[in-house]
Amino acid sequence: MKTQPEFLQLRQHLEQVIVGQGALLDRLMIALLTGGHILLEGPPGLAKTTAVNTLASGVHATFQRIQFTPDLMPGDLTGSDIFDPKESAFRFVPGPIFHEIVLADEINRAPPKVQSALLEAMQEHQVTVGSTTRRLPDLFIVMATQNPLETTGTYPLPEAQLDRFLLHFILTYPSQEEELLILQRDRQQYFGADPVAVSSPLQPATVLQARREVAGIHVEDMLERYIVTLVAATRDIGTIDTQWQDFLVAGASPRASIGLLRTASALAYLRGQEYLTPEIILEIAPDVLRHRIVLGYAARASGVTADDIIARILEYVPVP
């Protein structure tokens, strides 16, 4: 199965703006191909907002950035019924959530009521205001960011909402060579030298068609069992290491198995493969699992992270 040329051009479109960060671009395109939401975590200045904005422009999708703040209200997100004195009736004014790609910037700064409103949109692809429920666009995706360095004025995302994110990707700083290229590009733009733009012909309808093609990626039964075994291992970490018996409060839900199969199939599609391989599952598994396992106090006290536990599981479970 060959990747549609429109997606190759979309990748070029992203690389024209984003230097390096190949894994990030893969995850953004995976979210696009699966209709799943993605949580991007990293310090300021790593082009999280720019990457999502560039993706939306490459797909020609409607895009809205929402800056989450502690004083945000649910109606600021969903919209609300406004009384129209001319008509002597209420009319609904849609909020910024009614777009195809929504960037929830610094999502952990919003209070619990706003998170609850967002939770319905992420899970059900709908918004309820008053007694009326309204559907969101077919392409609807939430791409959220959070800064791990600041905790003042933030609200930890509840586990139920974290589980609705298909991927949790952690960004790292660029290499020195990549940062040098960023510096050179910025200097060229500062002096008015516009880079050669690579346009993307991708449209939302093409993305929806590609999602059906991703579902057609061939998956052997043994790989489905492998995925289930990996996820199940997060619920009984004591069988892998008895010293870690109390390290996890909760493991990943069956939604993790579904997400792992979908994301791995999408990555195989992007690489032009007709079938799924164990290597792709191993590559994408940490981003699917890290936000779905709840660490206990013993793990935090011992300095053991979710990635440490996932790495041990991937090493322990035999690869088919």
Q: What 3-state class would DSSP assign to 9?
A: helix
* Predicted local distance difference test score (pLDDT) of residue 286: 93
**CATH numeric code, 215-316:** 1.10.8.80
Residues of the chain with CATH 1.10.8.80: 215-316
Question: What are the Cα distances from residue 154, in Å, to 37, 38, 47, 120, 169?
Answer: 21, 19, 21, 21, 19
- Please give the CATH superfamily to which domain 5-190 belongs: P-loop containing nucleotide triphosphate hydrolases (3.40.50.300)
pLDDT single digits (tens) 249-267: 888 888 999 999 999 999 9
Give burial (CB, 10 Å; 0-12/13-18/19+) of 258.
middle
Give burial (CB, 10 Å; 0-12/13-18/19+) of 94.
middle
Residues of the chain with CATH 3.40.50.300: 5-190
Average pLDDT per run of 10 along the chain, which is 320 residues long?
70 80 86 89 80 83 86 84 77 85 86 82 84 85 81 71 87 82 74 55 80 86 92 83 77 89 91 89 92 83 84 87
pTM of the model: 0.85
Sequence-separated (6 or more) residues with CB below 8 Å from residue 257:
227, 228, 231
